[in-house]
Amino acid sequence: MTLISQLQSLEHKFSFARGVVHPGWEEATRAPLSNLLKKGKVLHGKVKSVANNVVTLQDGSTLEAEYIILAHGAGKSYFLHGGDEDDTVFKQTLRSKQKAINEAQTILIVGAGPIGVELAGEIKSFHPNKRVVIVHNNAKIISNAVPPMIDKFVTSLTDQIRGMNIELKVNTVVSGLPTPRSGDGFVHGRREYTLSDGSTITADLAIVTTGGVQPRESIVPLSSLDDQGKVKVDSVLRVEGMQDVFCVGDANNVPETKMGYFAMKQAELAASNIIKLNKGSSVNQYIPGDNGTYGTMMVPLGPSAGLAAIGSTILSAKMTSLIKSKGLFTKKTFGNLNVRPPSLK
């Protein structure tokens, strides 16, 4: 078994929003891959292309395999994305963001998707006296979930946000917002922003979390991509037109909200199906995690607040904190990679 990774660590994205706010938490954003495989190796390199049974790297070298699993993600988002940065540089970047947030008195967050909401909660939990304003272009927060979140979840989470003294402006657009560098999202410097309702806000720092993605250069044939640039997969997560290649996570076109939990479920199924194929057994189909009327999501608002919904079932702030908000799955993630988790406060 060979794992090909451009980085020497896994990006633990559950901790990114806290990592740009709380000193020390930058250490939880990268988990080393060095101890992951007891049988196999980790190869550091960039994949250029994939065909049935052959992976070609950027340096021209090739690897042959009976089966291949792609888990290369969708690309760089507006909000913080480490990209090609090594661990030391990336953590230094996070510390610089912590400093920028610490020095700002008024912070404008553009977008009330999960990241924007989580980030606002993290800032308020660590800096309760700062003015935090979220501007969202939809009537409801978390408006991009597929399927949509149940109304009582959206309403209760909105009430929590406002109860933390976070200003929330819905159905509003920021005019003339500078385009942030892809993979960063921070617009530094005090400036006045004009909103679509005619009001203005002067902020020391703006952070764009609208979810825009700069797509990666495709590593599969264009015939295997849909019109959104997603890798087309069948019901068992096999890439269309590629018999022995599977694709999991953000890169594929499975119709569900792209979250780490579902990506792990896809990875487990792909691995299980490969084992079954080796044994000559029939494979299992993937059932999208959000296959009901309402979506599933856990949204922390700092270590002790937030809300979760599993379809129509709502979990309290206390339960959400116990499951996710307090530790953000850090111990589990680092433990799964056979490395000691960082000491966090």
Q: State the 10-residue block means of pLDDT for the chain, 345 residues long.
A: 90 94 96 90 91 92 94 74 77 95 98 95 98 97 88 97 97 88 84 95 94 73 90 95 92 86 92 93 86 86 95 94 96 95 90
pLDDT reported for residue 213: 59
Q: Please tell me whether residue 108 adopts helix, strand or coil conformation.
A: strand
| Residue 200, SS3 per DSSP | strand
> Comparing C-alpha atoms, which of 49, 36, 40 is closest to residue 8?
36
User: What is residue 215's predicted lDDT score, i.e. its pLDDT?
Assistant: 64
pLDDT reported for residue 212: 60
- What is Dmax (Cα atoms) for the chain? 65
- At 93, which amino acid appears? T
pLDDT of residue 253: 93
Q: What is the pLDDT of residue 94?
A: 94
> What is the C-alpha separation between 343 and 244, in angstroms, rounded?
41
As its CATH architecture, domain 2-73+218-279 has 3-Layer(bba) Sandwich (3.50)
